[in-house]
Amino acid sequence: MNMDKVYLVSPSIEHKEAYIEMMVEWEEAKGHIYPGVIRRKGTDYSSWLETLELYRKRETCPPHLSPSDTFFLVNENNNLLGAISIRHYLSEQLLKLGGHIGYGIRPTQRRKGYATAMLKLALEECRDMGIEQVLITCDKDNIGSSKTIIANKGVLENEIVEDNGNIVQRYWISIKK
């Protein structure tokens, strides 16, 4: 696999069939779908794209959410490998548990280095947005995600125990211009 041949792209109408195929795969795997914004929740693909566009600006983003940009990771054949969402700023809740970035690789493409490459590309986007300190969180038992974050120079700040006993790790990545 050549990591020079993967790219972040904004979801567009041309990705509709590939997106549906990716989501069916994710649903059949019965795992969590990350980032959460890629779940359409019953809307058609065009409406979902419109929602993503609304989420990009503070003026049109629902007030309980942080504005965000969502990208697909694609290879040179435009195959969808995963998705990543970058929140522009952190609310109190995101500072505690959510972080700036949420990401996921579709089940059949995991353990191939794509998450590490996708996060690296997203950190470049963060730098372009002027975000110099990026918070990324993951469940302690998500070894793959913690390795991905550490591979991108993530430094563990602490762990938070949620009410249900789940342990969330909080990592910071410094990306000065």
List Cα–Cα distances, 48 to 68, 72, 84, in angstroms. 14, 14, 15
Average pLDDT (8-19) is: 95
CATH code of the domain covering residue 110: 3.40.630.30
Answer yes or no: is pLDDT of 144 > 80.
Answer: yes
Could you tell me if 8 and 84 are in contact, meaning their C-beta atoms sit under 8 angstroms apart? yes
Instruction: Name residue 162's amino acid.
Output: E
Q: Is residue 81 part of a domain?
A: yes
Domain count for the chain, please give it.
Answer: 1
Average pLDDT (126-147) is: 96
Give me 36's structure tokens. Answer: 């959460």
- d(CA 12, CA 51) in angstroms, rounded, equals 12
Give me 4's structure tokens. Answer: 């020079």
Q: Is residue 154 part of a domain?
A: no
Range of the domain at 15: 3-131
- d(CA 145, CA 34) in angstroms, rounded, equals 11
Q: Is residue 145 part of a domain?
A: no
Q: Is residue 32 part of a domain?
A: yes
Q: Is residue 167 part of a domain?
A: no
Average pLDDT (139-150) is: 96
Supply the mean pLDDT for the chain.
Answer: 93
Q: Is residue 96 part of a domain?
A: yes
pLDDT of residue 143: 95
- d(CA 150, CA 115) in angstroms, rounded, equals 12
Average pLDDT (154-168) is: 96
Which segment of 33-42, 72-81, 133-142 scores lowest on mean pLDDT? 33-42
- d(CA 11, CA 4) in angstroms, rounded, equals 20
Answer yes or no: is pLDDT of 177 > 70.
Answer: no
